[in-house]
Structure 1
């Protein structure tokens, strides 16, 4: 396959940074709304969960899908490939793990709680399932943040990189 030119790679890096910023910024925004939530006012909790869903669907998902698309461009059209370097392979694995957690754990818990709020009304705030989902979501979002920070560190430090002689 034809490889990208140096200026195209710079633009790709800019796009990658913007999309990762959307992704990580969305996660942090969602966390800020979630942790500001006192779970003592039904109306505030319902509104906050709706905002968290909007952030997830509009900002986080855009950043995640865009980052994945850019990663494929990097893999196919740059000399870096997908697994040429061990640090790239680790980034791929961590990104896929983080995405799996986001889609199959965090989003499911968030939507389950929104459903409970909409169907049970104020009683949802005392429901053990709702409270468990809320706590688990907080824990798994924290794991996502840690994984993202590890990916950032790997991207900058590039451990396991072969030394030039």
Structure 2
């Protein structure tokens, strides 16, 4: 597969940075709104805020996180960076996949459950232990996820840890190990 030229790489890199930035900014907004939601006493407002958080998650966070992963994969595949040549790329891959997985397995379901409970119970949801657990999970998990995305962006900029040193077997080692 031919590598991208500089202009193509820069366009793809710009898209990757944009999607990562959208993910970070929206995650930060969700945490801020969820924090405000802890002081809501009006049932209709409680549901409206939860429904808004769910809408933001479904239509901004999920696509931007996945597009960030996709553009990162394309950058690894179509440029000299590669998937396993640099420690910072490996760390970013692992962290991004973990964040998307935890968002899918925990944060999304917690937010969906909190929204459903507040839709049915309105202000009574505030005394429901399941709602309290779910919304605290969204707040704490969202904060951790936001900080993690910020760290991933920092790793992208700083590129710490450098290139992996891969030991190449000499011809003698190759023949002796196959004996």
Normalising to structure 1: TM-score of the pair?
Answer: 0.93
Separation in structure 2 between the aligned mates of residue 156 and residue 18 of structure 1, nearest angstrom: 14
Q: CA-to-partner distance for each residue in 1:100-121, whole Å, 9 max, x for gaps?
A: 1211111110001111112333
Map of 1:68-107 to 2, 5 A cutoff? 68-107=69-108
Q: Is the 8 A contact 2:33 2:49 kept in 1?
A: yes
Q: For residues 36 and 117 of structure 1, what CA distance do their matches in structure 2 show? A: 15
Q: Which residue is 2:113 aligned to?
A: 112
Q: Which residue of 1 aligns with 2:34?
A: 34
Of structures 1 and 2, the larger Rg is shown by 2
Answering whether residue 135 of structure 2 is matched by residue 140 of structure 1, we say: no
Give how far 1:132 is off. 1.3
Aligned CA RMSD, in angstroms, stands at 1.5
Match of 1:9 in 2: 9
How many equivalent residue pairs? Answer: 163
- The two structures have a TM-score, normalised by structure 2, of 0.86
Structure-1 separation of matches of 2:41 and 2:79: 52
Structure 1: segments with no counterpart, 5+ residues? none
Structure 1 ranges of 4+ moved more than 3 A: none
Q: Is the 8 A contact 1:22 1:62 kept in 2?
A: no
Gaps of at least 5 residues in structure 2 are 165-179
Name the SS of the counterpart of 1:100 in structure 2. Answer: helix
> Equivalent residue for 1:54?
55
